[in-house]
Amino acid sequence: MPAAPENTDHPGASRISRRDFVKIGVAAGVSLPGAWAATQEGTGPPHALFAAPPLEKVRIGFVGVGNQGTSHVRNLARIEGVEIKAVCDIIEDRVIRAQTIVREAGQPCPAGYARGDHDFLRMCEEMELDIVYTATPWEWHAPVCVAAMETGKHAATEVPACVTIEECWQLVETAERHRKHCVMMENCCYGRAEMIILNMARQGVLGEIIHGECGYLHDLRALFTGVAPGREWFGAHIQKRNGSLYTTHGLGPVAQCMDINRGDRLTHLVSMSSAARGVNLYAREHFPESDPRRAVTYLSGDVNTTLVHTERGRTITIVYNCNNPRPYSRINMVQGTAGIACGYPDRVFIEGKSPGHDWEPLENYAAHYEPTLWKDHGADAASAGHGGMDFLEDLRLIHCLRAGAPLDMDVYDAAAWSAIAGVSEQSVANRSAVVDIPDFTRGAWRERPQLAVPGEA
């Protein structure tokens, strides 16, 4: 999909303020989360997580079938109980490719939509679907999700769920108003190492979790400058934005270990960025003097460091660096009072168990703490994207929808994790000022139940 128009609200979408939503929710008897429930209805926050009625078949419309979208189509086409009914993209050849994948998987050919930037609106209005799944450029995620929910469908989106804080609230309010799921498909929460560490945290092996370090550190200079085509829209973001722009791959797993939105919440942050050098140097080294890409300026600093505080006194360091030569890392460190687990390479230290003050391979603990999801489906996932985590996240989504169970991640997670980018931009722009992070649960985080390790009985 191309860059979004200046007004990123989807055409025809009704905008509604939080104050108006309170009035509508109370009048209609809608269950309101957290502080709203207590203030408006005289009761405490709801203890149950949102679950929609179970679906025998999950009818999917897919928006955006580039590389990542096509990978999800391949996954979903081989998961029992899925019907891919429609595919939308601005490039017709991509739609045809996805249709072929679905037919070869033994399903009827899905309807195709390729009439321009907003054809997903026509798909949402015409098709009888249970969920709309989007893997478009970032600025289209919220518009597609809102269009889906406004037409009575659940929504699933690639990361991040939204670009602005306003969009975060829009997703939350729309999901609540229409009683629909809106889930950000954070695949890294289903990584094998991340799930082993989550299981160890849940079983108390690491003690009380007090600190985490995470991030997205990935040399994307070739993508930003178009040397490796396909994500030119990503490069447009770093030209005009300066902050922790791509946070959720690292933050999501750490936030789950810390019970964010389920017993704790992100409260405030400070953020600072280094000077912007790396992409400009790359352009000068790879393009002739006549190439206009040499003259492009980038607002995004090469390295952004963001420090986050939680209500219960935990801290999180988030590092973003896509502008310099370096090996890939998400850091993935969780520090507890009884031990520490860390990624890249995967290793662990448990007080009283690990030898001396030396790291042990995380694999030493895999036999005992590898989750059932990986034990049962790891072989099926092996051929899928990103080491199998993409297949497992799709498998869990379909399982929960068919079972009528709460999803592993919900709209409050999508909003809170995605909001870090926008809030960090505010901090950077104001000399690393402290900036509050919205509480999208409006106080319900205090009573929402802890996330079980996905797939565990």
Residues 228 and 179 in one domain: no
User: Of 136, 169, 186, which residue constitutes the final position of a domain?
Assistant: 186
CA distance 382 to 395: 13
Residues 88 and 219 in one domain: no
**Beta-strand runs (E) in 295-450:** 304-310, 315-321, 333-336, 339-342, 347-350, 360-361, 435-436
Residues 245 and 271 in one domain: yes
Residues 209 and 168 in one domain: no
Give a yes or no: residue 388 inside a domain. Answer: no
Give a yes or no: residue 93 inside a domain. Answer: yes
Beta bridge partners of 350: 339
**Stated length of the chain:** 457
Residues 193 and 225 in one domain: yes
Give the CATH number of the domain where residue 245 resides. 3.30.360.10
Task: Let me know: does 160 contact 138? Beta carbons within 8 Å.
Answer: yes
**Which of 26-35, 110-119, 241-250, 296-305 is predicted least confidently?**
26-35
**Residue 228 pLDDT:** 86
Task: Let me know: does 10 contact 147? Beta carbons within 8 Å.
Answer: yes
DSSP state string for 412-450: HHHHHHHHHHHHHHHHHHTTS--EEPP-TTTTGGGTSPP
∠ CA 397-205-367, nearest 5°, is 65
Give the CATH number of the domain where residue 57 resides. 3.40.50.720
pLDDT band at 65 (very low <50, low <70, confident <90, very high): very high
**Where is 62: in which H helix or E strand?**
strand 58-63
Average pLDDT value for the chain? 90
Give a yes or no: residue 3 inside a domain. Answer: no
Percent of the chain predicted with pLDDT > 70? 89
Give a yes or no: residue 166 inside a domain. Answer: yes
Q: Which residue has the tokens 């952004």?
A: 304
Whether residue 14 has pLDDT greater than 50: no
Whether residue 379 has pLDDT greater than 50: yes
Residues 199 and 72 in one domain: no
- Mean pLDDT within 100-127: 98
Give a yes or no: residue 81 inside a domain. Answer: yes
Residues 181 and 199 in one domain: no
Residues 256 and 200 in one domain: yes
**Where is 155: in which H helix or E strand?**
strand 154-157
Give a yes or no: residue 91 inside a domain. Answer: yes
User: Of 186, 218, 249, which residue constitutes the final position of a domain?
Assistant: 186
**Residue 343 pLDDT:** 98
User: Of 157, 186, 215, which residue constitutes the final position of a domain?
Assistant: 186
**Residue 382 pLDDT:** 87
CA distance 40 to 34: 10
Residue in 143, 151, 130 with CA at minimum distance from that of residue 171: 143
Number of folded domains in the chain? Answer: 2
Q: 340: helix, coil or strand?
A: strand
Whether residue 254 has pLDDT greater than 90: yes
* Tens-place pLDDT, residues 135-161: 999 999 999 999 999 999 999 999 999
pLDDT band at 372 (very low <50, low <70, confident <90, very high): very high
The torsion angles phi and psi of 406, rounded to 5 degrees, stand at -60, 145
Whether residue 13 has pLDDT greater than 70: no
Half-sphere exposure in the Cβ direction for 330 (13 Å, CA):
18
pTM for this structure?
0.90
- Is residue 247 classed exposed, middle or buried when 0-12, 13-18 and 19+ CB atoms within 10 A define those classes? buried
**Which of 55-69, 101-115, 128-142, 375-389 is predicted least confidently?**
375-389
Domain that holds residue 169: 18-186
Residues 80 and 166 in one domain: yes
Give a yes or no: residue 124 inside a domain. Answer: yes
- Mean pLDDT within 317-328: 98
Residues 101 and 53 in one domain: yes
Residues 200 and 234 in one domain: yes
**Residue 21 pLDDT:** 29
Percent of the chain predicted with pLDDT > 90? 86
* Tens-place pLDDT, residues 18-50: 333 233 232 223 333 433 333 233 333 344 799
- Between the CA of residue 353 and those of 207, 268, 349, 365, what are the distances in Å? 13, 35, 8, 11
Residues 233 and 168 in one domain: no
Question: Amino acid identity of 104?
Answer: E
